[in-house]
Amino acid sequence: MELSEYERVPLKMVYDHIDDTDGICVDQGSISVAKPRKLSRKNIFKACVLAIPLSLSVFFMHLTSPPSLSQNFQNADVAVVFTGSDDRVEYGLQLLAEGKVDRLHVSGIFNENSAIEIVRQYGPAHEEALDDRLDDITFDRAATTVENVIATHALMRDWQGNSRSYAVITSCFHMARSHWLLKNLGQGLPQNVSMQALTVPSDTCSTYDTGSKQRWNEFAKILIHRFDVATGGLGVWSSPAQRLANEGLALDDVNKRFDGNTHRFHLEGLVDHLIR
């Protein structure tokens, strides 16, 4: 019994092309050869329609998923806190009080604050332990994540001779963007500097919902930052913050620029306004 998708051809014709035939069946002087099936344009179109959202989903998850977080953190020369929630600063003060870090830098503090005020406001439980460690607490006046990164790069350059290992503390949802910017904004990480990613102990990332507005907010900002970094060498196309990052200034000079408010990366605020 012959199958409908098979076609009978003369045996001699098949013998002439036997090397090109994959799988033959001889039947009383003739041979049945399977005709190859061709993909129709309709099927190709359907495959593309299915592949596009899948690819976008993978891209979305890749950009917004936090990097590998340090488990059972032991020590580092410096802990850098990106402000945004009180528990981040509190955790940084805890690490300093426990002797797990030699220095603490808090990125994003109001001008009038001092080290003792930071301890009293965010870590009163560690005030006694930190009484003689106030000189080991420094801060800058960053107001955005890009500014956090610019200040941290400046700090790393200033302390490069003495401090080589850093632990960056922020929230889980914020870590992917912070981590990428630290590696790619401006001149990137200085040579011979290692970096660990830390979140506060209570932040297990389990509440970082895949489809949350918070995650879409981060996704939009990451795309903006990647475009900004990619066009950083094109002059007018790069943001003032990107140009500041490329200057490689010391931390004191960076803080002066922050005070002048001449470089603010306003697109972050625009995204916050649009995605709520």
pLDDT digits (tens, 9 = 90+) for 92-141: 999 999 999 999 999 998 766 789 999 999 999 999 999 999 999 999 98
Answer yes or no: are the C-beta atoms of 66 and 42 closer than 8 Å: no
Q: Examine the pLDDT at 84 and tell me if it is beyond 80.
A: yes
Q: Report the pLDDT averaged over residues 178-191.
A: 90
Q: Residues of the chain with pLDDT > 70: what percent? A: 71
Q: List all residues 6 or more positions away from 28 whose beta carbon is below 8 Å from its beta carbon.
A: none
**Averaged pLDDT for residues 81-88:** 91
**Does residue 49 or residue 194 have the better pLDDT?**
194
Tell me, what's the pLDDT at 210?
58
For residues 255-262, give the mean pLDDT. 73
The CA-based dihedral angle spanning residues 81, 85, 91, 96, taken in that order and rounded to the nearest 10 degrees: 40
- In the sheet that holds 194-198, the strands lie side by side as 137-140, 101-107, 76-82, 165-169, 194-198
Query: Does the domain at residues 76-274 carry the CATH identifier 3.40.50?
Result: yes
Q: Provide the pLDDT for residue 86.
A: 87
| CA pair distance 9, 137, nearest whole angstrom | 87
pLDDT in tens, 151-166: 999 999 998 878 889 9
Q: Which residue is listed with tokens 């808090």?
A: 106
Q: Beta strand pairing status for 194-198 and 165-169? A: parallel
pLDDT of residue 140: 92
3-state secondary structure of 109: coil
For strands 101-107 and 165-169, give the pairing: unpaired
Note the pLDDT of residue 211.
59
Residue 143 and residue 258 in contact, taking contact as beta carbons nearer than 8 Å: yes
Question: pLDDT band for position 225 (50/70/90)?
Answer: confident
Whole-angstrom distance, CA of residue 180 vs CA of residue 187: 13
> Phi-psi bin for 84: left (phi > 0), alpha (psi -120 to 50), beta?
left
HEC-encoded secondary structure of 34-84? ECCCCCCHHHHHHHHHHHHHHHHHHHHHHHHCCCCCCCCCCCEEEEEEECC
- Average pLDDT value for residue range 255-274: 60
Supply the pLDDT for residue 1: 47
Residue 5: pLDDT band (50, 70, 90) is: very low
pLDDT tier at 33 (50, 70, 90 boundaries)? low
Q: Which residue has the higher pLDDT, 177 or 224?
A: 177
Nearest Cα to 155, choosing from 252, 258, 90, 89? 252
Quick one: pLDDT at residue 3? 45
Parallel/antiparallel/unpaired status of strands 25-27 and 30-34: antiparallel
Measured over all CA atoms, what is the biggest interatomic distance in the chain, rounded to whole angstroms?
100
The 10 Å Cβ neighbour count of residue 243 is 13
pTM of the model: 0.74
Least trusted range by pLDDT, from 6-15, 73-82, 142-151: 6-15
Q: Are 89 and 118 in contact (CB under 8 A)?
A: yes
The residue type found at 19 is: D
